[in-house]
Structure 1
Amino acid sequence: MTSRNSSTPSPERAQRLPVASKVIPSSYTSWIKKTAWALAIANIFLIISGGVVRLTGSGLGCDTWPKCTSDGSWTTTPEMGIHGLVEFGNRLLTFVLVIITIVAFIAILGIVFPQRVSTGFFVKKLIFGARAHESRYADLFNLTLLLLWGIPVQAVVGGISVWQKLNPWMVTAHYILSAIMIALTAIYLNRIYRYFGGTAQAEGLAAEAPREGSGLMRVLGWLGFALVAALIFMGTVTTGTGPHAGDAETHRHAFDPVLVTRLHGTLVWTYCATVLAFFVLVRKYALAPIFTKSLFWVLLVLGYQAVVGYTQYFNGLPAWLVEFHLIGSGIFSLAAASLIERQLVLSSAASRKRALERIS
C-alpha cells in the first residue's frame, strides 16, 4: 500500500502549475489539507464570534433578519451603537465561512470527478450528493457538500432566533448546528489524512479484519456519540438558564440552574469515564497507535473544559471565562468527533474495506 502523496507535485513543479491546477488539483496536494483545516477553524471561530455577541448583550443588535433593522437597513446604523456593530460583524463572518467552504469544496472536485462530467450530472450531485459507484471519493464530496448546505440552514435558524427574540430553544438549535458542522469537519479531516496523509498505517488498516477488542470499541464509540450529543445539548440548556442571554429582555429557561449544571457535569464525567475505559482497551489489545494521539487530545480538552467550567461556576459566570468555555466546546466537538469516527470506522470490517479501497 503506497501513499497518495507519491503523486504530489514537487515544490518546483507546483510553482509552474497554473492557478486553476492549484485550486482544483487533479491529485492530492497539501492545498486540500489546508482547506480542510481552514474549514474546521472557521466553524470553530463562528462559535467564538457567536459567544461574543451573546456575552456582550448584542444578540438583538440587529433587531430583525435578514435585514439588520426593522426600518429596512441591511447594515447597522450609528443609532444602534456597539451592539449593532457586534451583531452585524457576526453576520458578515457567515460570508467568510461561505468563501472558505466553497474553496474547500472545489479543492476536491478534481479528485472526486477526475473525468469531465456534464453540467446536468454535476447539478444533480449538488442536490442529491455522490454515490460510491460514481466516485471513489464520494464521501469527501458529500461531507463538503453537507458543510456547504449547512451554512444557509444555520443562517435561517439564526434568523428565526432573532425573530423570536433569542428564544433559548432556538439558540440551542443554532449552537447544535454549529457543533454538527464542526463534527463533519473532523470526519472530513480524518479521511483526508487517512486517504492521502499517511495515517492509514497508524490506524492499522493494512489488516482488513478488525483486531480483538473491536466489538467493545464499537460499543464505546456509539456510547460516546450518545453522551457527547447529550452533554452538548445540556450545555446549551445550562447556558439558556444562566445570565448571559444575549439581550437583557430575552426569555430564559425556568429550570433550576444548579440542577441543570450538575446534570451537564455528570454527562461530561460519564463521557470522560468511557474515554478512560477506551484507553484501557487500547492498551490491553494493542489497538491502532493513532488512538493514543486521539485520546490525548480528547482528554486534554476535557481537562481544560473542567478547569474553566468549574472556575466560572464558582465565580459567578464572568463573561470572559464563559467565552473561554465556548472556545473549548468548539475544540471539544472537533476532538471528540475525530475519536468517535475512528472508533466506528476501525471497528467495522466493512468500513475498513471501504477505506482501503480509497487508499492507493
Structure 2
Amino acid sequence: MQFSSLIGRLPYPTRAVQRTVAIAAVIAQAGIGVTGSVVRVTGSGLGCPTWPECVQGSMLPVDHPEYHALNQWIEFSNRMLTGVVIAVAALCLITAWRVAHEHPERKRLVKLAWTMPGGVVLQAVVGGITVLAKLEWWTVAIHFLASTPLIWLAVLLLREFASDGQPVRWRAGDTGRTFLVVLIASMWTVLIAGTVVTGAGPHGGDPKTHRLDAPVGTLATVHGALLVCYLIVLACYGLYLFRAGATPKLWRAYVTVWVIALAQGALGSVQYGLGVPEALVSLHVLGSALVLIATANLWCAARDQHRLTAPSDTEHELTPAG
C-alpha cells in the first residue's frame, strides 16, 4: 500500500509522455543491437575481456598490453549504453504503474512494461556469458536473438499505451491471424539464419575468436531463400487482405513492411557482393531491427484495440492522487 501511494503521488503521464516513453523503448531496444554490431565489426568485442569488470580489477578501461585503448573504449561505451536502456525500461514500468494506479483494469499494460527491465537483465547476463565464452559465434548469435523479442514487445507496449486496455478483436478474422503467425515465424527463421551467416563471416568481434567452419556463400544463399519465403507469405497475406477488405491503416502498415523488407534484401545483396564491409554490416543489423518493428506494427494494426477517448489529459492532471 505504501508503494502504491507513492506511485499515486506522481504526476499522471500525459498521452504525449506515454508515447514518448514507449518510443524511447523501441529505439533503445533496437539501438543496442546496432551498437553491438559496431563493437563486432571493429574487433572490440574483447576490448573489455572480463565481466562485469572491464579488465581484471577495474570497471574502467586501463592500459593493457593485449587490448588497444580504442577497442576498450568502444566495448566499454557499448556496456554503458546498457544503463540508458535500463533507465528507459524503468521509465516504461513507472509510467505503466502510474496509469494502472488510476485505471486498475490496465493489467496488460503493466505486464508488457515489466518485460522491458526483465529483458534487459536477461540480456546483461547473456552478454556476460558471451564475453566469458570469448565471443564464441553461437553465444553472439544468442545475444543478438535475445534482443529481438524485446524490440517486438516494445512495439506492443507502444500500442498498448495508446489503447484503453479492452480485449482486442482481429480485423481480418482467424485466417488473417494465421497468416500473420506464419509470417512472424518465417521472419524469425530469417533472423536466425542471418546470425549463422555472421558466425561464419569475417567479423567475429575479435581477430582471435573462433568462427563457424561452414561456407559463407551457402549460408548466405539459405538466408536469402528464407527471406524470399517471408516475402511470399507476405504477398499471400496481402491477397487475403484484398479479399477481406482491409482498412487503410492496415494497408499502410502492410506496405511499410514491403518497403523495408525489400530494402533490407537489397542491402544484404550489396553487402555480400562488396565483401561484407563494416559499415554495411551495421546498416544491415539496423535493417533487421526495422523489419522486426514494421512486422510488429503490422501485427498491431491487424488487431482492433480501442483508443483512449476519455477522460482528457487535463482532467487526469486535475484529479487528486489517490
TM over 0.5: yes
Partner of 2:131: 162
Q: Equivalents in 1 of 2:299, 2:99: separation in Å?
A: 26
Structure 1 residue identity aligned to 2:60: T
Q: Equivalents in 2 of 1:147, 1:310: separation in Å?
A: 33
Residue 235 (structure 1) shift: 0.8
Residue 26 (structure 1) shift: 3.5
Residue 342 (structure 1) shift: 4.1
Q: Equivalents in 1 of 2:15, 2:236: separation in Å?
A: 37
Does residue 224 (structure 1) correspond to residue 183 (structure 2)? The answer is yes
Write out aligned runs for 1:1-360 (5 A).
24-26=10-12, 28-70=14-56, 72-79=57-64, 80=67, 81-114=69-102, 135-195=104-164, 214-343=173-302, 346=303, 355-356=305-306
Residue 193 (structure 1) shift: 3.1
Q: Which runs of 4+ in 1 moved over 4 A?
A: 20-25, 208-211, 355-360
Deviations 1:90-144 (A, max 9, x none): 00000011111111211122221228xxxxxxxxxxxxxxxxxxx3211111111
Q: Equivalents in 2 of 1:180, 1:234: separation in Å?
A: 16
Residue 216 (structure 1) shift: 2.1
SS class of match (1:62) = coil
Are the aligned partners of 1:25 and 1:107 in contact in 2 as well (CA < 8 Å)?
Answer: no
Taking a change above 3 Å as real, the CA distance of residues 285 and 75 of structure 1, as seen in their structure-2 partners, is same
Q: Equivalents in 1 of 2:74, 2:175: separation in Å?
A: 47
Q: Equivalents in 1 of 2:9, 2:95: separation in Å?
A: 6
The answer for unaligned runs of 5 or more in structure 2 is 1-5, 311-322
SS class of match (2:46) = coil
Using structure 2 for the length normalisation, give the TM-score: 0.87
SS class of match (2:162) = helix
Q: Equivalents in 1 of 2:139, 2:46: separation in Å?
A: 14
**RMSD value, Cα:** 2.5
SS class of match (1:143) = helix
Taking a change above 3 Å as real, the CA distance of residues 27 and 323 of structure 1, as seen in their structure-2 partners, is closer
Are the aligned partners of 1:39 and 1:104 in contact in 2 as well (CA < 8 Å)?
Answer: yes
Using structure 1 for the length normalisation, give the TM-score: 0.78
Q: Equivalents in 2 of 1:335, 1:209: separation in Å?
A: 20
Residue 44 (structure 1) shift: 1.3
Residue 252 (structure 1) shift: 0.9
Structure 2 residue identity aligned to 1:283: F
Q: Equivalents in 2 of 1:287, 1:302: separation in Å?
A: 21
After TM superposition, the structure 1 stretch with the greater mean CA deviation from structure 2, 101-110 or 171-180, is 101-110
Q: Equivalents in 1 of 2:300, 2:265: separation in Å?
A: 24
Taking a change above 3 Å as real, the CA distance of residues 210 and 183 of structure 1, as seen in their structure-2 partners, is closer
Partner of 2:318: none
Q: Equivalents in 2 of 1:264, 1:218: separation in Å?
A: 25
